[in-house]
Structure 1
């Protein structure tokens, strides 16, 4: 197998090992970049090595994925680099650096409560044959850094073999959003973001491969990203931050910003405090009586099964955040912060995966867990709850028959503006718990989103509140062809 000087390897997902890295048959020195995917949050971390030592960029909380990769490849981690104080997850950087005895590198201007190796714009350091250059790229935050990595043998040769880790700065076809530090800073940060994108393309060669942290489904992207890889050269023509003037781009970017998860508010403070290692050992099991007590106490008991299974039968009073979708994003968005969480799942493996996701956003320990099936989870031989499911064709048929169900749209404002069912009611999912009193109880409520996943979460919330709810488990793209009238905001 041949390699470029800095091969991008297959993703190392949480549930699958990464592809093997073969040595360059010519014996040439090269940079190995291993991507560690966290699909549930739309983020990537990176392990970069010269075959002997390694640096890690933006590690997630479950650092065992990183240390296992390093051990498999026989490389020693010498530096852990943060591109910024993250707003969408709790970092594993502080704990990883302490565990492996690496330098923990954070912008010198960041206000943190832990010891770190402070970095500043223009600084450069070497570890093994890797040379790391620090580039200030404000925009996602005021203190955001990017890292250009090259080989010692080529560092003075027009940056041959350079790769760049851009965090929340330059993404594939987009940039990181500029409003996470507050709306009052959004315009200033957007202008910084535009300038930072231009700095990167001005200072790095066209063939420099770009490795961002955000942009793979993360709400940290200002606008939707495109593609799965890119170079500095390709972004010159593909990224609006580089093809549009600053005024046009800032105006368009600010106008396109959508709602972001509420749990983001807790991530920055957690990361500035130096998060401790997370305990991923198995939580305490709960029997049916304990589940009932927790539900009655107002705690969140979360059913991780898919929406079809949940609709067919579930423990009354539970919520449904299926692991077949963006489970942790929406759980973190909706839950009152600090509420104990108990997990219900079919298998222990499902619990383990969910527990990792919870830790990534700072919910360190589930209060309890239960595995098995619904009858095992209902105390005293009670009956399961459930609700019906339909598609948009059925919704249209009900309207033609003179029925008057409430069609509830739980998509975001920006999605709603692009088209909605005439006569439908709109309550975005992230506002539903606070607006339950707006949902009528005198007629069936048919709830939809774009695909069915968020609608199932909403259906669980409504069912728990005693609403006669029906899940529209269908793509919104089918609404018009089913015969429903669609309107758009002017």
Structure 2
């Protein structure tokens, strides 16, 4: 008997393969189906069942693609907003026999109306429940979002409270297997650990510390979450399903001199995404490129990209480009033309134009705040709760994801210093403003972290 977890980088998603005696079930699969096939081979078992704990908003489900490869049956909670075309309905109390495991469906609405959890029962231990796969209902040190139904926030928060009590009654020793870990857009307070127990969460999770259902609802209604534009695309894709997995080669290398031709040949202007480090980008980059390295590509790409504009990547290596392309595929962006690894160096003469981004330190920002110039503005791109907890005095606040719709409110003749928590998101913001024609832009290196240290030392 075994439980294997598969972590998907970028979106901090956790999916699972559970099985024994030649049979296995996959819970919440990604489009990277090769991982589940490899694990099934390792355990010499056949994937017979696929269960989705809810309709996801932040990535395209791999359930249909995996079912096409394995012949497995797919099950999904019965209360989906729209009928899930590729899945059978799973209702509270349904049971699936997977070798010596029994998997029992528990209705746990709140995050979404169709949310379910899956209780794993060990039949070798006299039918003893061992663990529960909680989807986006319960995480480590966090609980699910309840803001996806704007007109029903109070109702959904109340349902989530009831669902959490249902899980709490399973027993303190039950292992919790959540669908996301730290860094996910599905919650802001998740701990770095990727597993926990019901007992630990009852003692430590803020969602369990509310003294009443009313207090819990009030707590949830005060939360401030962001809904990226691409979520609606994910929701629809997860109704109809995607029947093919991510291709083995998700991104091909472009010739070193191909960029000008690519930009001219595109039916509409393409977008360059530079997935190299922030420091490399600030040092030198192609004009018009957007810096979205690592997990920031999944966290913020959906705010800046649409589904018809051609995409080319600038990367350090084939591996980095491929991993970035896979992140985009999970979000439904398949229009990837390829990638480049050659970037003009600052100390060489290149046929293609290049840019760099200036970086400023805390002492320089302090000087500008104390002796402000009429044309200078500190621009904070952090989330609202970050601003409320630690505010930059005299800063203008625009959340990073809102820049595409709000940058028109900014004066291109002014000088903007971009700030965030560490300087990373500020570099993303600077790259976007430069691409939009802002010429006088720099980045506050270290941002709030550096500012707090500077203030302590002053």
Could you tell me the TM-score, scaled by structure 2's length?
Answer: 0.91
**TM-superposed deviation, 1:136:** 0.5
Distance 1:465 1:252, change over 3 A: same
SS at match of 1:407: strand
Aligned partners of 2:142, 2:328: CA distance in 1, in Å?
28
Aligned pairs for 1:115-130 within 5 A: 115-130=86-101
Matched position secondary structure for 1:153:
helix
What is the distance in 2 between the residues matched to 1:94 and 1:374?
A: 43
Give secondary structure in 2 for the equivalent of 1:446: strand
Q: Among residues 190, 194, 216, which one is paired with 2:161 in the alignment?
A: 194
Is residue 60–residue 242 contact of structure 2 (8 Å, CA) maintained in 1?
yes
Partner Cα separation in structure 2 for residue 326 and residue 65 of structure 1: 23
Q: Does 1:418 align with 2:394?
A: no
Residues 140-178 of structure 1, C-alpha deviation per residue, up to 9 Å, x if partnerless? 111111100112233xx3x42521100011222221101
Paired residue for 2:450? Answer: 478
Corresponding residue of 2:224: 257
For residue 19 of structure 1, what is the aligned residue in structure 2?
none
Q: Deviations over 1:175-227 (max 9, x none)?
A: 110112x211221111000000101122x232110001024221212x51235
C-alpha distance in structure 2 between counterparts of 1:69 and 1:32, whole Å: 11
Cα–Cα, structure 1 residues 341 and 32, in superposed 2: closer, same or farther, change >3 Å?
same
Contact kept? 2:20, 2:98, Cα under 8 Å = no
Q: Deviation per CA, 1:257-307, whole angstroms, max 9, x where unpaired?
A: 322322212111100102121342244544122244268943211111111
Within the candidate set 101, 125, 142, 1:174 is matched to: 142
**Alpha-carbon separation, structure 2, partners of 1:242 and 1:421:** 32
Structure 1 SS opposite 2:93: coil
Cα distance in 2 for partners of 1:114, 1:363 equals 22
- Name the residue aligned to 1:347: 317
* 1:115 CA drift (Å): 4.0
Length, aligned pairs only? 446
1:213-243, Cα deviation, whole Å (9 max, x unpaired): 024221212x512351211122222233333
Measured at CA, do residues 300 and 375 of structure 1 come closer, stay the same or move farther in structure 2, by a change above 3 Å? same
Of 362, 373, 377, which aligns to 2:332? 362
In structure 2, the residue matched to 1:20 is none
Structure 2 matches for 1:75-86, cutoff 5 A?
Answer: 75-86=45-56
Matched residue, 1:143: 114
| Structure 1: runs of 5 or more not aligned | 1-30, 485-490
Instruction: Specify the alignment match of 2:190 in structure 1.
Output: 225
> CA separation in 1, counterparts of 2:153 and 2:453?
40
Cα distance in 2 between the residues matched to 1:224 and 1:107: 26
The 1:60/1:279 distance shift into structure 2, 3 A limit, reads closer
What displacement does 1:400 show?
4.6
Structure 2 Cα separation of the partners of residues 327 and 346 of structure 1: 15
Structure 2 counterpart SS, 1:381? coil
How big is the shift at 1:450? Answer: 0.9
| Contact in 2 for aligned 1:42/1:215 (Cα 8 Å) | yes
Paired residues of 1:342 and 1:369 also in contact (CA < 8 A): yes
3-state secondary structure, aligned to 2:426: helix
Unaligned runs of 5+ residues in structure 2 are none
Q: Would you say 1:239 and 2:205 are equivalent positions?
A: yes
Q: CA contact under 8 A between 2:285 and 2:343: conserved in structure 1?
A: no
Query: For 1:129 and 1:402, how far apart are their aligned partners in 2?
Result: 70
Distance 2:176 2:96 in 1: 20
* Cα gap change, 1:292 to 1:385, in 2 (>3 Å): farther
Inter-partner Cα distance in structure 2 for 1:38 and 1:279: 13
SS at match of 2:128: coil
Structure 2 CA distance for aligned equivalents of residues 70 and 276 of structure 1: 20
Give distance in 1, aligned partners of 2:356 and 2:5: 41
Name the counterpart of 1:456.
427
- Distance across 2 between alignment mates of 1:173 and 1:210: 11
In 2, Cα distance between equivalents of 1:120 and 1:205: 22
| Distance change in 2, residues 1:465/1:149 (3 Å) | same
Deviations 1:362-381 (A, max 9, x none): 112413322233369x9981
SS state at 1:432 partner: helix
Deviates more, 1:111-120 or 1:145-154: 111-120
Does residue 185 (structure 1) correspond to residue 152 (structure 2)? The answer is: yes
Distance 2:8 2:176 in 1: 18
SS in structure 1 of the partner of residue 339 of structure 2: strand
